[in-house]
């Protein structure tokens, strides 16, 4: 039996089912909350912190990630309060500073009126949102990539940074990456594709007949053609 209950979302009484996250409820009611690490079909992760919402009465509230926080009866949620927007903007500023070349992040930042970045640009290619890791495990039933090290040293790679025997070169990891734009560096170069997936060989159809390339058109192949 499905249990319906009510809670307050941005001042409105809304209804939700059990086991629904705040993000899902908000989406159902047409309220857009920005996300990065969240992806339908993958388990919620709560790592990017962008989907923060304010829960609790004013003065006693705290910020929680809406993708992981279950809607509960009677709670008070604000998705676009001053407190939320301020932190969200700061986060986006940090995101752009970390990965200045990502168009996705730039678009997101400009949508939220982030106009300046006060930090030194880092030029990273991975924000460790972990979509690829979850894609690999949960959808592709592979265990080829995962998190390594901790703190500021944390990165995503294959076991011992070598080509993984578990990797089937499905390319799912690259398909879900929100950051890298130019994922494939062409069939000649035997380097990393983007630091979030670290397949040492590009899954280009030209090179590997049994796999298909998710890029359409593949930027690297286009480059190759001239």
Partner 1 sequence: MKTFCHCNNHYGLENSSIILFMQNIQRNCGYLPEDELKRLADNTGTPLMDIYSIATFYKSFKLEPQGEHTITVCTGTACHLRGSGEVFEEMAAVLGVGSGGGTSEDGKYTLEKVNCLGACALAPLIVIDGHYHGNVTPGKAREMIEEHYK
Partner 2 sequence: MNALGLLRDVKELKRLKSELKKEKREKFVSVCGDTGCSVWDSKKVDEVFRRVLEEKGLSEEIPVKSTGCLGFCECGPVVIVFPEEIFYQKVNEEDVEEIVEETVVKGKVVERLLYHDPREDKKIVKASDIPFYKKQVRNLLGDNWLIDPGSIVDYFSREGYAAAAKAFTEMSPEEVINEIKEARLRGRGGAGFPTGVKWEECFTKNVENKYIICNADEGDPGAFMDRSILEGNPHSVLEGMMIGGYATGSNHGIVYIREEYPTALEKVKNAILKARETGMLGENILNSGFDFDITVSVGAGAFVCGETSALVNSIEGKVGEPRQKPPHLAEKGLYGKPTVVNNVETLANVPRIIRWGAEEFARAGSKNSGGTKIFSLVGKIRNTGLVEVPLGLPLREIIYEIGGGIKGGGHLKAVQTGGPSGGCLPGYMLDIPTDFEELDAAGSMMGSGGMIVMDYGTCMVEFSRYFLSFLSGESCGKCFSCREGIYRMLEIVEEVAAGTATLSHLDLLEELGEMVKNTTMCGLGKTSANPVLSTLKFFKGEYLAHIMENRCPAGVCRALVTVFINQELCSGCGVCRKKCPEEAITGEKKEPHYIEKALCSKCGICIESCPEEAITRA
Cβ 142 to partner 1, closest distance in Å? 9
Using rule CB under 8 A, residue 169 touches partner 1: no
Q: Is 163 in the site for partner 1 (CB under 8 A)?
A: no
**Cα of 132 vs its chain's centroid, Å:** 9
Asked whether position 17 contacts partner 2 by CB under 8 A, the answer is no
Q: For 168-206, give the DSSP string.
A: ----HHHHH-SS-S-----SS--S-SSTTT--SS---TT
Residue 40 CA to chain centroid, in angstroms? 11
Which among 158, 211, 222, 214 has a CA at the least distance from the CA of 186? 222
Do 98 and 124 touch, CB atoms closer than 8 A?
Answer: yes
Task: List, in sequence order, the alpha helices (H) in 115-169.
Answer: 131-134
Stretch that binds partner 1, among 24-32, 67-75, 97-105, 159-167 (CB under 8 A): 159-167
DSSP 52-73: EEEESSTTS-EEEETTTSBP-T
Closest contact distance (angstroms) between CB of 120 and partner 2 is: 7
What residues pair up with 175 in beta bridges, in sequence order? none
Establish if 152 lies at the interface with partner 1 (CB under 8 A).
no
Least CB distance to partner 1 at residue 108 (A) = 29
Site string for partner 1, 108-147 (x = CB under 8 A): -----------------------------------xxxxx
In terms of CB distance, is 115 or 152 closer to partner 2? 152
Write out the residues near partner 2 by the rule CB under 8 A.
44, 46-50, 52, 62-63, 65, 68-70, 83, 87, 90-91, 94-95, 97-98, 118-120, 127-129, 147, 149-154
């Amino acid at each position: 039996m499905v249990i319906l209950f009510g809670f307050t979302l941005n001042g409105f009484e809304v209804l939700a089912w059990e086991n629904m996250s705040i993000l899902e409820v908000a989406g159902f009611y047409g309220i857009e909350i920005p996300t990065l690490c969240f992806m339908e079909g993958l388990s919620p992760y709560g790592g990017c912190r962008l989907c923060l919402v304010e829960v609790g009465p004013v003065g006693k509230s705290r910020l929680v990630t809406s993708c992981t926080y279950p809607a509960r009866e009677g709670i008070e949620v604000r998705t676009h309060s001053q407190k939320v927007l301020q932190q969200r903007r700061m986060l986006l500023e940090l995101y752009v500073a970390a990965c200045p070349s990502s168009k996705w992040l730039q678009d997101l930042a400009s949508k939220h009126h982030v106009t300046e970045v006060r930090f030194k640009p880092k030029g990273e290619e991975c924000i460790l949102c972990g979509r690829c890791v979850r894609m690999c495990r949960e959808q592709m039933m592979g265990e080829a990539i995962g998190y390594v090290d901790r703190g500021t040293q944390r990165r995503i790679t294959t076991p011992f940074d070598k080509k993984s025997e578990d990797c089937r070169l499905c390319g799912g990891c690259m398909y879900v990456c929100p950051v890298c734009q130019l994922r494939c560096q062409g069939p000649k170069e035997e380097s990393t594709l983007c630091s979030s997936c670290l397949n040492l060989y590009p899954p280009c159809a030209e090179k590997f007949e049994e796999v298909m390339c998710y890029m359409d058109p593949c930027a690297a192949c286009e480059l190759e053609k001239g």
